[in-house]
Amino acid sequence: MSGEKLKITIDGIDILCEKGTTILNAARQAGVDIPTLCHDERLEPYGGCRLCIVQIKGVNRPLPACTTPVSSNMVVTTENEALTRMRKNVLELLLSNHPNDCMRCEQTGNCTLQDLAYRYGADGKIYEGEKWDLPIREDNPFITYEPNKCILCGRCVRICNEVVMAGTIDLVGRGFYAMPDTAFRKPRTLENCEFCGQCVSTCPTGALTDRKGRGKGRSYELKKVKTTCSYCGTGCNFYLNVKGDKVVKVTSAYDSPVSQGSLCIKGRYGYDFIHSPERIKTPLIRKGAEFVEATWDEALELIANKFKELIEKHGPDKVGGFSSSRCTNEENYLLAKWVRCAVGSNNVDNCARV
C-alpha cells in the first residue's frame, strides 16, 4: 500500500481507500458483500472461483473483485441481473459434481457453498453428468478428507504452501480427476504433514473436516468460547467449541493479533486433557509412601513452611523460581516478584528463555 487515497463508488456508495486495495477489500470495508469461494484473507488473491465478478463502468466485461485493484473514480456494480445469472451458473456447475448430501454433511450450517446455493437458488440439476465416487479418506487421526465434496478452490493447497510452508498437498491429476492430495497420494503422517489443521480451517465445504469432532454437534449447537492456548508462550487465540459442557473441537480465531488463525497440532488437536479422568482436581500431599488429597490451605501452608526451612538452613540464594510459558504473563510476573521480594533471590528462569 502506498498510502495514497483513491475515491471510488461501489453500488452508489462513495468510498476512500488506499491505492493498491482490491475491489473486494474495498467493498468489505464499506460493508458491501461480494460472494466468493476461493478467497481467504490469509492468502494471496487467486481469482479461481469467479463468483466475485463485478461490473466496472467503462469496462466491457466483468472482472474478479479479489484480484482487481481499485483506480481513481472507479464505479463498480456488485449485483445486477447479469451478475446474478453468471454466479448462479458457476454454482450450478460446481453442484453438478457434488454429493449434495447436506442432511448428513458435517459442515451443514457452516458451509459457504451451501449458503451461496441458497442465496442464488442453485440446485445442481441443470448440468447432469458423471460424478466423483471416491472413498472417504480417514487414514490419519486428525483430518477426514471427503474428495467428492471438493470444489477445487485451491485454498487448502495455498494455505499449506503460503502460510504453513509445509508443501504437504498440491493439486494432483488432470481435468475431471484433479484434486488436492499428498505426493503419490500417500496417507498423511508426521513425516509429510504438520497436522496444524490449517487446510481444514480454510475449506469452504465439507471436504476437509476435523476427524476428532465429527458427529459431535452441528455448528449452531456449539457454543464458541475464545481463549488463549496454554501449550507455549506464543499466545495464539482460538475458539473452544463446547456442547453440553464438553469441548468437542477447536476452531481458528482469525482476528487473533498473534496468530491470525494459525495453530499448531497441539493447539488445534491437543485438547483431550481437558476432560481426562486422570486430571488432578485437588492438591495432593505426600504422607509416607502415598499421596492424599488436601485442601488448598493445607497445601499452601506446607509449601510455605518447607520454603522457610530451606531459606533458614541454606539462605535465599539457594532458592529459585522456574516458571512455565503455559502460564499467563501476569502469573509469571507474580512468581518473579515473589522470588525477588519475598524470598530475596534473583534466581528466576523460564522454560521458553532459549
Q: What is the pLDDT of residue 353?
A: 67
Q: Is 251 found in the same domain as 147?
A: yes
Domain containing residue 316: 284-350
Q: How confident is the model at residue 11 (pLDDT cuts 50, 70, 90)?
A: very high
Report if residue 236 sits inside a domain: yes
Q: Give yes or no: residues 303 and 182 share one domain.
A: no
Q: Do 252 and 288 have their domain in common?
A: no
Let me know if residue 92 belongs to a domain.
no
What's the half-sphere exposure (Cβ side, CA atoms, 13 Å) at 64? 13
Sequence-ordered list of residues with C-beta below 8 angstroms from that of 203, at least 6 positions apart, any chain: 155, 156, 209
Judgement on whether residues 253 and 157 belong to the same structural domain of the protein: yes
User: Last residue of a domain, which of 32, 57, 79?
Assistant: 79
163 and 249, same domain (yes or no): yes
**244 and 293 within one domain:** no
Q: Which residues pair with 210 in a beta bridge?
A: 143
Whether residue 105 lies inside any domain: the answer is: no
- Give domain status of residue 71, yes or no: yes
**Mean pLDDT across 143-148:** 97
118 found inside a domain: no
Residue 218 resides in a domain: yes
Answer yes or no: do 304 and 269 share one domain: no
Same domain, 293 and 247: no
Contact between residue 124 and residue 96 where contact means Cβ atoms under 8 Å apart: yes
User: For 194-244, what is each residue's pLDDT tens digit?
Assistant: 999 999 999 999 999 999 999 999 999 999 999 999 888 788 999 999 999
pLDDT band at 350 (very low <50, low <70, confident <90, very high): confident
| Tens digits of residue pLDDT in 23-56 | 999 999 999 999 999 999 999 999 999 999 999 9
- Which pLDDT belongs to residue 4? 85
Confidence of residue 2 (pLDDT cuts 50, 70, 90): low
Cell numbers at residue 193, please?
504433514
State whether 170 and 223 are in the same domain: yes
The percentage of residues in the chain with a pLDDT greater than 70, rounded to a whole number, is 99
The CATH number of the domain where 52 resides is what?
3.10.20.740
Task: Verify that 226 and 292 share a domain, yes or no.
Answer: no
Q: What is the pTM of this model?
A: 0.86
CATH number at residue 266: 3.30.70.20
Number of domains present in the structure of the chain: 3
Tens of pLDDT, residues 76-133: 999 999 999 999 999 999 999 999 899 999 999 999 999 999 999 999 899 988 889 9
Whether residue 230 sits in one domain with residue 172: yes
Same domain membership, residue 306 and residue 258? no
pLDDT for 354? 53
What pLDDT, in 10s, does the model give residues 293-318? 999 999 999 999 999 999 999 999 99
Query: Is residue 352's pLDDT more than 80?
Result: no
Residue 75 is assigned to a structural domain of this protein: yes
Out of 275, 300, 332, pick the residue that ends a domain.
275
Examine the fold and report which residue of 35, 55, 79 is the final residue of a domain before the chain moves on. 79
What pairing do the DSSP bridges indicate for beta strands 75-77 and 5-10?
parallel
64 occurs within a structural domain: yes
